[in-house]
Amino acid sequence: MAVVLIAGSSGFLGSSLTERLRSQGHEVRRLVRRSSLAPDELSWDPAAGRLELSALDDVTHVVNLAGAGVGDKRWTRARKQAILSSRVASTALLASRIAAVEDGRITLVNASAVGYYGDRGDEELTEQVPAGDGFLAGVCRAWERAADPAREAGHRVVHLRTGIVLDPAGGALARMLPLIRLGLAGPLGSGRQWWPWITQEDVLGATTHLLFRTDVAGPVNIVGPQPQRNRDVIAALATAAHRPSLLPVPTFALRIALGEFATELTASQRALPQALVDSGYTFTWPDLATAAEHLISAPGRDSA
């Protein structure tokens, strides 16, 4: 049994990962940004640099999913700073505490995103491709660098460069489902941009695989094995719901509604899960059409 410390355990992915790890027999301790109210909770404050070193007592693995939401608020200057600082501060604090553990026994699995690559058109993006341009690319570079102290101290560090997570209970698909069921969904912008989709079940499966079943370190693209364009992802989901997908959302409308974040939604990232596949991971839902049928037929289920 492993002892896993999780930051960001109350979020869409974190809550499901917590349940999955416990169902597999692991002990999970959760970092919370308030006073602890349960035996499995530990209070911390990344902005203030507050985390007791004893929080890592007996811990074998740390998963950091903490960070302010990217798409839930308009990108003002203050919001962009919160997106950056929340990720860098939490990662830097955990990495510094892990670095102080001298026996190198801790694995740090830290969130990142395919936004690292920026807008890259049709270029195939493996983990060896350098970072791109744009706000989120800069965030991801700083986010990953913040883990350097743990890596330099001899601990294994994995960066989850996660794509667009599809699950009816949350994330992008939960927002799109009402429009899909009404037959009002369609491509975003041109629809030609590559969307690095993956089901939540495979995000959880890949994360537990990287935690316990491989010694892979460094960046890992957490995306499906068959890249698809935005228009094809929307079409597959609409087909599974027996609805059309003929109403495109013009780029100018996205910019009016979402501001600068619209640029990221229409960015093209043909990311490939090279490191994940090479490590021996087998996808539960590798095919878009069958994944779409599964996702549409089971709205709101618990994926953990």
Q: What is the widest separation between alpha-carbon atoms in the chain?
A: 58
Cα(42)–Cα(51) distance, integer angstroms: 9
Count Cα neighbours of 74 within 13 Å in the Cβ-side half-sphere: 7
- What separation, in Å, do the N-terminal and C-terminal C-alpha atoms of the chain show? 18
Question: What's the one-letter identity of residue 14?
Answer: G
| Least confident range of 94-103, 213-222, 291-300 | 291-300
Percent of the chain scoring above 70 in pLDDT: 98
What the chain holds in terms of domains, given with CATH numbers, is: 3-297 (3.40.50.720)
- The 10 Å CB-count burial string (b at 16+, else e) for 274-287 is bbbeebebebebee
Count Cα neighbours of 255 within 13 Å in the Cβ-side half-sphere: 6
Q: In the structure, what pLDDT confidence band is assigned to residue 300 with cuts at 50, 70 and 90?
A: low
State residue 48's pLDDT score.
96
242-295 pLDDT per residue, tens: 999 988 999 889 888 888 988 888 999 999 999 999 999 999 999 999 999 999
Chain mean pLDDT for the chain: 94
19-65 pLDDT per residue, tens: 999 999 999 999 999 999 999 999 999 999 999 988 999 999 999 99
State residue 144's pLDDT score.
98
Question: Over 90: is that where the pLDDT of 175 sits?
Answer: no
Q: In the structure, what pLDDT confidence band is assigned to residue 303 with cuts at 50, 70 and 90?
A: very low
Q: Which of 29, 27, 24 is nearest to 2 (CA)?
A: 27
Q: What is the CA radius of gyration of the chain?
A: 19
